[in-house]
Structure 1
Amino acid sequence: MTGWRPTPSLVRACLFALSGLAGGVAAGLDVLVVLAAPFLVLGVMGMLARPRHTPTVRTQIDHHRLHEGQGTTSRLVVDDLAGVEHVIRVAAQAPHVATRPTYGVSASLAADGLPVLELSPRRWGRRVIGAERVGLTSAWAGWRWGPVDMPEHGLVVLPQTAPYDSRAEVPQPDGLVGRHRSRRLGSGTEFEGIRPFATGDRLKRVNWPVSLRTGELHVITTRAEQDAGVWLVVDGLRDIGFSGGIDGAASSLDLTVRAAAALAEHHVRTGDRVGLLVVASEGARVRLGSGPRHLHRLHGTLSRVRTEVRSVPPERLDLGAVTGSVVYVLSPMLFTPLVTATASLQRSGASVIVIDTLGERDHGADRLALPALAARMQQLERDDRLRQLAALGCPVVPWRGPGTVDTVLRLLARRAQVPKVRAR
């Protein structure tokens, strides 16, 4: 209802007043008139306070794009408050969204300002907020407008970027804009070392002080003028565990998305080019890029990751990263075709790092229960897959936040410098 209607209290006051006056006059009892007098006053004041206009009400939120844990405010806008004394808002509870007041009920006098609702998303993803009902009441509680349903608002919740930093250099860079230079030798200005002269070296690279001191020609080696090409492969096929938002336990997909967001922010901040591949039934692919705008695009793509129990097309499992890139595969490694695709990528020559995002899982107190036995069997199968990947030279590290991949990157950088013997 969008028009002003009399409240039940006004109807009761009018009925009591008319009944008391009629009864007092008919029966000649003054006491009935005296008892009906207060109700008569309330009825008359309520009738006189009837608003003469139909208000227009809408809601708006201060932000439409937030990170996990951040907050926004839902505000009520009324075109004309003449004759309005009291305003009430009742908001519906949305999953993974905390509200203040706790139960979403907020009311105040119009003279003190319109009531506001504070909202804070506790998990990444697309959230729908603002589904609520609004009611207005006139002075003396005589007339009521509404309650009316307010339209919902869409909110994009970006994954929380956990504090992450790495001092290790990526092993096989692939561009020319980032801070991480190539570990491969080549034409450049970044000093790498001094080695004995070999056939094909340029004479301008000869280091004469060292050559005169040792009696043999030595040349200066430099790093190639290249930067890092980093690919993030996100496994969105399954979500293991229950998500309690940023305040509770994290599911496997929570760890995957938040780890990918942290790695993306770290590499983009250092100037590296970062690409993203989401392996899911409705996957997504973001090309290599750099800069704040590209980082927003990566975070927006991560916020749209959804798990659906459907078959995955074979082309979704084609990681397709360029040889020479650094590829982070963020996955609990429970899907066999994805493990096979990771192994194929490792054989192609890319530097692949598997980041285990399964996390710590409690299989229950009863180890002989059927769900606990199934979980342990799945764990054994997963451990066997990870051992096979490690045997191929693909490091597997659990996500631990800052410094998770420092040691692995240093080892890969050293391995990239080792001469490779190729059969002809």
Structure 2
Amino acid sequence: MTEGVPDRGAAAVQRALDGRHDVTAQPPPPPPPNWRASERALRLGTLAVVALSAALITGRSWVLALATAPLALLALALPGGPRSRTVTAEAEVEPRRCFEGERVTVRITVSYDGETGRLDPGVTLGHGVRLDHLAVGPHRVDLVLTARRWGRWTLGTVDVDLYDRGGLARRTVRVDLGEIAVFPLPGHASLTPIPVRLPQRLGEHTATQRGEGVEVTGVHPYVRGERQRRIHWPTTTRRGTLQVHQFAAERTADTVVLLDGLTDVVDPVTGTSSLDETFRAAAGLVRAYLRTHDRVGVVSVGGTTRWLQPGSGQGYFYRIVESVLEVRKDRAYRTEGLGLLPPPALPAGALVYVLTPLTDQRIFDILHHVRGRANPMVVVEIPVGEPVPEPGDTEAALALRLWRADRDAMRFALKERGIAVVTHRPGETLDLALAPLLRTRVHGGTR
């Protein structure tokens, strides 16, 4: 895309691209399994050592009295004191599946024998959550987290320090909070454009064929066996013969949402991610078609090709979303190569929505593959920001012009092939982008 651009100009373009790294959340080193001196014991020990050293240096015996109190308290931390031998901790996380912005509650129950002092938790969270509240009791630790971004995230770990009654020794037990699945917030969408040809299944879309629907398409002469209440009396009076209403058949549609996960373009000004907006728009599109009782499938490309065969039902929405959550797991998504689309993922005649930021030329290989199957196709562009060159940097400004020209060339090439291209801008309803498609039905390609 930036071939032939000077290095500094290409760097200005590449600063807008993110997601080509594998950044996985790593837990901290494991804590020691046994009792050990606490911070208080270390402070007392330091005070005793300083007092003894001062007595040796000055030669004054009364300075030794300053070390008496710290040494007496440290005696409580010697082995064999009243400490818990068995310490266990269990975590309850509710819910394990949620949407962006929803809260997740965690309760850690600590069990131990004998008498102890206080609990002191140390929380290490994963990338996709934020800590909002922390409460500590005698036997439990409560956390309230907020899911920030969609994906399959590792919640992190909590190291609970258990202190003895004197606070001079501590023991640490680690609790792994596991993973949660955070669904993207569906974008608002209610329009459901349909292709020219629909499968022979009953549904809610008006087909071009005659059938038992509710939309009147004309009148025709009465045939014996037709319902008499469908007689159109004004036309019958005019023509002198019985005329009845003619209705259009109602059919369902097959829709496949193809997600471009090859790159993640981040707006340098607002921080908006094209991958986030792509999946939110896809979730809204899937929900809109499922509400009209259509069959919807999903395909995600970028690294491992994931797909789910078209199905129907409101519960199918969660299956579709969960099938693509692995694209982002602890901010790790890979883009090495493309996999072939299996035939069951693209049924014959299914309307294919391709949601892409149009920043990677490899998406054209996928579009050519879909077009070769004669599936009607709509490309929904997600334009999330553009590189911002530094003031006075002429090379970066030239790179930006070439970057814009490259995107214009992509759109022109798609339209020349007869592919509908619409633009969905973040923050707007998806219906604004899909409204022009209602003027006519989406046509398919030729084999």
Give the TM-score of the pair, scaled to structure 1.
0.77
Shift of 1:161: 1.6
Show structure 1 runs of 5+ residues with no match: none
1:143 paired residue among 162, 169, 185? 169
1:190 paired residue among 198, 214, 237? 214
Aligned residue pairs, count: 395
Q: Is the 8 A contact 2:268 2:388 kept in 1?
A: no
| Alignment partner of 1:74 is 2:106 | yes
Q: How does 1:316-335 map to 2 (within 5 A)?
A: 316=341, 321-335=346-360
Residues 16/378 of structure 1: CA separation in 2 closer, same or farther (3 Å cut): closer
Counterpart residue number, 1:383? 408
Shift of 1:340: 5.7
| Alignment partner of 1:253 is 2:275 | yes
**Paired amino acid for 1:91:** V
Q: Using CA pairs under 8 Å that are at least 6 residues apart, name the structure with larger relative contact order, 1 or 2.
A: 2
Counterpart residue number, 1:409? 437
Residues 132/209 of structure 1: CA separation in 2 closer, same or farther (3 Å cut): same
2:95 paired residue among 57, 63, 72? 63
Counterpart residue number, 1:117? 143
Shift of 1:232: 0.5
Q: Distance between the aligned counterparts of 1:327 and 1:412, measured in 2? A: 16
Residues 234/243 of structure 1: CA separation in 2 closer, same or farther (3 Å cut): farther
SS at match of 1:84: coil
Q: Distance between the aligned counterparts of 1:385 and 1:303, measured in 2? A: 28
Q: Which moved more, 1:363-372 or 1:272-281?
A: 363-372
Show structure 2 runs of 5+ residues with no match: 1-31
2:292 paired residue among 270, 283, 304? 270
Q: Distance between the aligned counterparts of 2:70 and 2:303, measured in 1? A: 67
1:133 paired residue among 159, 163, 178? 159
Q: Is the 8 A contact 1:243 1:251 kept in 2?
A: no
Counterpart residue number, 2:380? 355
Structure 1, residues 1-59: CA drift from partner, whole Å, max 9, x if none?
A: 33333446457769959x99xx9xxx9x9x78986775577457767973243211243
RMSD: 4.0
**Paired amino acid for 1:68:** E
Q: Distance between the aligned counterparts of 1:319 and 1:267, measured in 2? A: 19
Q: Distance between the aligned counterparts of 1:243 and 1:136, measured in 2? A: 45
Q: How does 1:276-295 map to 2 (within 5 A)?
A: 276-295=298-317
**Paired amino acid for 1:190:** V
Q: Is the 8 A contact 1:4 1:144 kept in 2?
A: yes
Q: Is the 8 A contact 1:46 1:142 kept in 2?
A: yes
SS at match of 2:98: strand
Q: Is the 8 A contact 2:309 2:345 kept in 1?
A: no
Q: Is the 8 A contact 1:271 1:291 kept in 2?
A: yes
Q: Which moved more, 1:208-217 or 1:219-228?
A: 208-217
Q: Which moved more, 1:206-215 or 1:123-132?
A: 206-215
Structure 1, residues 154-203: CA drift from partner, whole Å, max 9, x if none?
A: 222222223x132455345436464x3233222223233214669xx988
Counterpart residue number, 1:54? 86
Q: Distance between the aligned counterparts of 1:118 and 1:243, measured in 2? A: 31
Q: How does 1:299-318 map to 2 (within 5 A)?
A: 299-305=321-327, 307-313=333-339, 315-316=340-341
Residues 335/58 of structure 1: CA separation in 2 closer, same or farther (3 Å cut): same
Give the TM-score of the pair, scaled to structure 2.
0.74
2:363 paired residue among 338, 358, 381? 338
Q: Which moved more, 1:85-94 or 1:210-219?
A: 210-219
Shift of 1:251: 1.8
